[in-house]
Chains A and B, each alone.
With several copies, the nearest count.
Chain A
Amino acid sequence: MDLTYTPEEEDFRARLREWLAKALPELPARPDPLDWPGRRAYDLGWQRRLYDAGYGSLHWDAPPALRLIFLEETELAGAPYVGANFVGLLHAGPTIAAEGTDEQRARWLPPILRGEAVWCQGFSEPDAGSDLAALRTRAVRDGDDYVITGQKTWTSHAEIADWCELLVRTDPEAPRHRGISWLAMPMDAPGITVRPLRTLAGPAEFAEVFLDEVRVPVANRVGAEHDGWRVTMVTLSFERGTAFVGEVVACRRTLGGLARTARANGRWDDPVLRRRLGRLNAEFTALWRLIQWNVGAGGEAGGAPGAGGSVFKLRYSQARQELYDAAAEVLGASGALDADQEWTAARLSSLSYTIAAGTSQIQRNIIAERILGLPKGR
């Protein structure tokens, strides 16, 4: 057990902090959330700056402690979120790095790291949500291409993506998990239609992607044909692991903001609310420690967080909803019912946390069966 950092790590932190203090004021104004081209330019521009300063690949191939420091410091400094680079840096990139050929790595990774390419995720389908392996988007081999027809949903940043990490069914006869392949699909290929998907939290962040005989070269397949399920599991374990580090830091900052707002507006006089905030303090402190634990454990296991990520994800998604429920209490009626209030908007978004990237019900199955070894069942 050790919470201290090595001198090298502390040095890394100091230099990063210094760089952030210089780099952040030079950033252009943040674009409007509805300005897609603006967001693309902004997010890629930030990644380019990180790359030029030597921080471009911290998200996936740095030693765990450095990655943690990077995520902590960028969040503390109020640096831009990973934004449109999310899938490239945290899903597709690490997957290609782990499973791709040398050619594939050389082709796709540098543009991601240099802030030149946006990736999106084409996994979920209308009838394949929790049951991802039920996906039906078909890829039929035709010479050196796959010809792909189907529909994907919950694809974020599809409007501005260059590439899509796409799961397709290449063998409809095989058992569900054995006939799937993982492809990199260029988003400018003919036959792709993107339609924004509006959520209960308001403006479209996600899209549906319709695929009508889209041709993707066989060379764009990562991993063996029909072996996409295994490749996918690599990606998903990243999603459930360290993807939330910055968010936990942000939640702890929000919690402090709630306390100060409550004291300013008088709600602090309510001990029920106060004690609730105190408990959330314990909760988010522990979640932060659990992330550190997972990062340490992941480092040993080779970088990919395991089922322990499900433990974190379950508790965190619950805690995040409780945080914004508490925010509604702090704000009182006129704030909690005002959709323009930042915390109220965040409360709406938080509702997706127990659903997206594996519902809480699915996560509990994973924990019970894979960690606790309980018998499989319904």
Chain B
Amino acid sequence: MDLRPTADQRALQTSARDLLARRFGRDRLRAAVDDPALDRALWRELGAAGFFALRLPEADGGVGLGLPDAVLVFEEAGRALLPGPLVAGHLLAGVVPGAATGERVVGLCDVGTGGARLWEHPEDCDELIMVEDAGPDASCGDGPDASSGDGPGASSGCGPDTSSGDGPDAYWNAPDWPTLAPLRSIDPLTPLARVVSYPRRAPRALDVPRLRREATLLTAALQLGSAARTVEMAVEHAGRREQFGVRIGAFQAVKHLCAEMLIRVDIARSAVYAASLTGQSLPVIGAKVLADEAAVRNARDCLQVHGGMGFTWEADVHLHLKRAWLRLEQWQSGAKAEEALAEALLADAAAV
């Protein structure tokens, strides 16, 4: 019983950090801010490094590792602000040919009840998987029969669900099938589109609850990495910047902001790592709630520590904040997450 990463896991995390530092350092990050089109060469390199195939069996060309290892690697991606549909690529590596190697970029969009219906990097995806809720009235696709031929469905909104209720909950889409609403993404590194409707022409058998759970956990890991990075940025700045003749980190007001930031990271990290070990739904939801809070509030506190400099476009602080806001809306979060955690208290009468 030891929640800390093993030596092997630390080595894995370090190699991910090194790869990202080499291939996605600050210059590349700022270049991506100006042109967020996905770097396909980097994507293939991530594929070659096992980023997507990490949990596929070695027999299938994968690395054969587990969810805890994936979480450590995603934490690094979050630290580095690496853009792109990373969660999709990782979770669909065993489902969509070419995803595991990074040859093909695949998107994943949650259109279930409360799903954000947002599609990351729509221009860069070679294909797209839609996941819905099972059962009637839960989804907003055009229905399997709503369109014919090879064009996208023409429906412009959510009609009544005509599916049987026990059909598949996932649909494959070519990138030009869905009807999209334009959206100027708040995160300059992550172009977005909102999916208005899409044809249910190509159903896919996927374990959607599991997919959602793992997407939630990996998104929490990205948030955790960002939260950890913004503490470092705040501490670096506070240890360097002088005002009133001293480094501002000597002021309690700054010191205590930084201390609270670290606490959020440590709490979120305990929750995320533990959830990756059990893989259970509730710990995953709890981890996302805490990692969301850590990422958003740490980015804001980091901005406050940076003062006016933090408010500039040139500082990286806002990139962390905007990405944290984006991830907050992805997968399980907010009201639904807290309701699920509350409900569990009633169910859990016997255990602690």
Contact across chains for A337 and B352 when beta carbons are under 8 A apart? no
CB < 8 Å: which of B242, B262, B274, B312 contacts A3?
A: B274
Task: Flag if B118 contacts A271 (CB, 8 Å).
Answer: no
* Min CB–CB distance A224 → chain B (angstroms): 25
Bound: A279/B251 CA distance, A: 32
Complexed CA–CA distance, A252 and B350 (Å): 12
**CB within 8 Å for A131 and B312 given contacts A2-B1, A281-B341:** no
Cβ-defined contact, B263 with A314, below 8 A: yes
Which residues of B lie under 8 Å from residue A31 when comparing CB positions?
none
In the complex the two chains form, is A285's CB within 8 Å of B286's CB? Answer: yes
CA of A285 to CA of B258, assembled, Å: 24
B252 near A377 with CB under 8 A, answer: yes
Whether B311 pairs with A1 at a CB distance below 8 angstroms is: no
Contact A337 B329 (CB under 8 A): yes
Q: Please tell me if the beta carbons of A127 and B258 are within 8 angstroms of each other in the complex.
A: no
Does chain B have a CB within 8 A of A249? Answer: yes
Given contacts A9-B1, A200-B318, A360-B304, contact A278 B268 (CB under 8 A): no
**Which of B260, B268, B325, B342 is close to A274, meaning CB atoms less than 8 Å apart?**
B342
A27 CB–B CB distance under 8 Å:
no
Residue of B3, B183, B252, B277 with most partner-chain A CB within 10 A: B3
| A1-38 Cβ-contact flags toward B at 8 Å (1 or 0) | 11111000100000000000000000000000000000
The answer to whether the Cβ of A184 comes within 8 Å of any Cβ in the partner chain is: no
* Contact B259 A364, beta carbon cutoff 8 Å: yes
Please indicate the chain A residues that have their CB under 8 angstroms from the CB of B186 in the complex: 336-339, 344, 348
**Cβ of B2 and Cβ of A2 under 8 Å apart?**
yes
Residues of A within 8 A of B263 (CB): 311, 314-315, 367
**Size band of the A side of the interface?**
35 or more
Range, interface on chain B: 35 or more
Please name the residue on chain B nearest to A369 by beta carbon. B255
Residue pairs across A and B with CB atoms within 8 Å: the count is 273
Cβ B273 vs Cβ A1 within 8 A = yes
Judge whether B335 is part of the interface by a CB distance below 8 angstroms: yes
CB distance from B13 to the nearest CB of A (A): 11
Query: In the complex, which residues of chain A have a beta carbon less than 8 angstroms from the beta carbon of B338?
Result: 274-276, 278-279, 282
Say yes or no for B194: interface residue by CB 8 A criterion. Answer: yes
Which chain B residues numbered 251 to 273 have a C-beta less than 8 Å away from chain A?
A: 251-256, 258-260, 262-263, 266-268, 270-271, 273
Q: How many whole Å from B147's CB to the nearest CB in chain A? A: 23
Question: Are A1 and B278 interface neighbours, CB within 8 A?
Answer: no
If A275-B338, A275-B339, A371-B262 touch, does A378 touch B271 (CB 8 Å cutoff)? no
Say yes or no: B348 contacts A256, CB within 8 Å: yes
Q: Does B100 contact A (CB under 8 A)?
A: no
Which single residue of chain A is at the shortest CB-CB distance from B310?
A355
Given contacts A9-B1, A130-B243, A311-B262, contact A260 B349 (CB under 8 A): yes
Q: Which of chain A's residues has its CB closest to B67's CB? A: A1
Question: Quick check: is A374 within 8 A (CB to CB) of the other chain?
Answer: yes
Are A372 and B259 in contact (CB-based, < 8 A)? Answer: yes
Q: Find residues 44-79 in chain A having any chain B CB closer than 8 Å to their own CB.
A: 65, 68, 76
B68 at the A interface (CB under 8 A): yes
- Point out the residue from A129, A259, A290, A377 that lies within 8 Å of B308, measured CB to CB: A129
Chain A interface main SS type: helix
Q: Does any Cβ of B come within 8 Å of A270's Cβ?
A: yes
A278/B313 contact (C-beta < 8 A), A9-B1, A338-B184 known: no
Interchain CA distance A251-B310 in the complex, whole Å: 25
Say how far A33's CB is from chain B's closest CB, in angstroms: 15
Are B249 and A375 interface neighbours, CB within 8 A?
Answer: yes
B345 on interface, CB distance cutoff 8 Å: yes
Q: Is the CB of B345 within 8 A of A290?
A: no
Q: Which residues of A contact B329 (CB under 8 A)?
A: 333, 336-337
Q: Is the CB of A364 within 8 A of B4?
A: no
- The answer to whether A351 touches B341 (Cβ under 8 A) is no
Q: Chain A contacts of B258 at CB under 8 A?
A: 368, 372, 374
> Which residues of chain B in 320-352 are interfacial with respect to chain A, using CB atoms and an 8 Å cutoff?
321-322, 325-326, 329, 335, 337-346, 348-349, 352
A250 to chain B, nearest CB (A): 9
19 A–B contacts, CB within 8 A, in A order:
A1-B6, A3-B3, A129-B243, A200-B321, A271-B339, A274-B339, A278-B339, A278-B344, A282-B341, A285-B283, A289-B273, A293-B273, A311-B262, A348-B186, A361-B254, A367-B263, A373-B235, A374-B249, A377-B255
Closest 4 CB pairs of A and B: A377-B250, A278-B342, A282-B286, A200-B318
16 more contacts with CB within 8 A, not counting A131-B243, A278-B344, are A1-B3, A128-B243, A255-B345, A259-B342, A278-B340, A281-B341, A289-B3, A293-B4, A334-B116, A336-B329, A337-B183, A338-B186, A344-B186, A351-B303, A351-B311, A374-B239
Which A positions have Cβ atoms within 8 angstroms of B?
Answer: 1-5, 9, 65, 68, 76, 124, 127-131, 134, 153-154, 197-200, 202, 249, 252-253, 255-256, 258-260, 263, 270-272, 274-279, 281-283, 285-287, 289-290, 292-293, 296-297, 299, 308, 311, 314-315, 328, 333-334, 336-340, 344, 348, 351-352, 354-356, 359-361, 363-365, 367-369, 371-378
